[in-house]
Structure 1
């Protein structure tokens, strides 16, 4: 069977394309491959940014492959490193991830997009959590979505399975930007290049702080930072890049980030 995950590497950027005709649904094998790909991305010091997208123009990802489930894939089976889709439970992922939603994005596919840091969408993209209609629960989305968009909108999507188009998704803050379908990947690469030119140690510190502070009180989180309890922050403060940033500012030039 052909590999359902295609990767493209340009400099410090890795593009990951889910390519499982007809709909880019994820079965256990695909999830495990994605886990390996994103683990390698996390652990490769030369990679700074990832893009995740779907092949074709109709589907980003509809989530769990129900046909595979009917054929014996257990819904509680081994999803591999990082859990379903390789991203949402991947520990220590301190690099930016962009989701380029090129079409239908629902169920576990929406949960995959929610695992990214920035979501771009094609004009024709649409979003839903239809699990309610098949008598099951969108587990990760039930945790994440009410924290990302207004509670009542999130609950309506969860309780009814209602579809929303890209324009409404942007209005509620679910996605960052909308582009014509033909321009989506070019815009994703442009954003990835901007991020790849930035300070990777700062990105790592930002992601760890945001992740760890999500359920903490403000003062508790701040005390952890000032008390040198975030590894990424301490690495940043002791780095060559921290000194380079100050030198570049004083010398009125662009900094050269080395990630160390």
Structure 2
């Protein structure tokens, strides 16, 4: 049996591919732990700026491996939760490249990423109720924050999927492509990687963490994040490179 997750680093981008195509990349504990290790590598490696999470064989992830579930196995990592990324994500950006099915935990896996690129034929949904289960990997919490309550409720209670174009209309998907999602995800990743690494991490942190900030306390919470950037060598280099009409040479500090 080959590796359940394939990890390749190139041009500052860590590509993490779920490699169970015959099972539509249904998640196992081993795969979840492997994804978690890849995300820890992204966090720790100064040469990496961004990650892409994809699935092999034309599907992203069809959710939990039900055969494993019946044996008592839950596809979770101790730190990262379902799929190794739903309860903890690295400070650096992660892009989901979705082909085929992103269902149940597969949709929750995509929502745990920071951006989503999808092939036009991709399907998104949380059909757990059809199996007598509950979308416990974050779907029932994230969707009401990302969508109008009634739409989130429809997805949760019917379990019916939506297509990539509808998901894009609702703001769940960044880009819809006619080709393989991984190709469009690579373009997006490289565009991200040209920017200041510290600025990227802080921007991601503010976008994610500010969901919980009271409106009257935004500056109080945001200032410690922003101070790290404005006092950094990268901030000075960015201004200097702009003035000198050249590409910046980022140090990540």
Q: TM-score, normalised by structure 1?
A: 0.91
- Check the 8 A contact 1:39/1:81 in 2, yes or no: no
* Residue pairs, 1:88-237, within 5 angstroms: 88-90=86-88, 93-139=90-136, 140-182=138-180, 184-226=181-223, 228=224, 230=225, 233-237=226-230
- Check the 8 A contact 1:31/1:80 in 2, yes or no: no
Aligned residue for 1:113, secondary structure, equals: helix
- Check the 8 A contact 1:39/1:90 in 2, yes or no: no
In structure 2, the residue matched to 1:36 is 37
Pair 1:72-2:72 in alignment = yes
CA distance in 2, matches of 1:210, 1:179: 25
- The runs of at least 4 consecutive aligned structure 1 residues that moved more than 3 Å come to none
Cα offset for 1:78?
5.3
- Check the 8 A contact 2:102/2:123 in 1, yes or no: yes
Matched residue count: 251
* 5+ long unaligned stretches in structure 1: none
Cα offset for 1:21?
3.1
CA distance in 2, matches of 1:127, 1:165: 6
> Against the structure 1 CA distance between its residues 193 and 13, is the aligned structure 2 distance closer, same or farther, given a 3 Å change threshold?
same
In structure 2, the residue matched to 1:249 is 242
Aligned residue for 1:214, secondary structure, equals: helix
- Check the 8 A contact 2:202/2:229 in 1, yes or no: yes
- Check the 8 A contact 2:28/2:65 in 1, yes or no: yes
In structure 2, the residue matched to 1:53 is 54
CA-based RMSD of the aligned residues comes to 1.5
* 5+ long unaligned stretches in structure 2: none
- Check the 8 A contact 1:102/1:181 in 2, yes or no: no
CA distance in 1, matches of 2:182, 2:132: 35
Cα offset for 1:256?
2.0
Q: TM-score, normalised by structure 2?
A: 0.94
CA distance in 2, matches of 1:78, 1:103: 22
CA distance in 1, matches of 2:250, 2:234: 6
- Check the 8 A contact 1:14/1:51 in 2, yes or no: yes
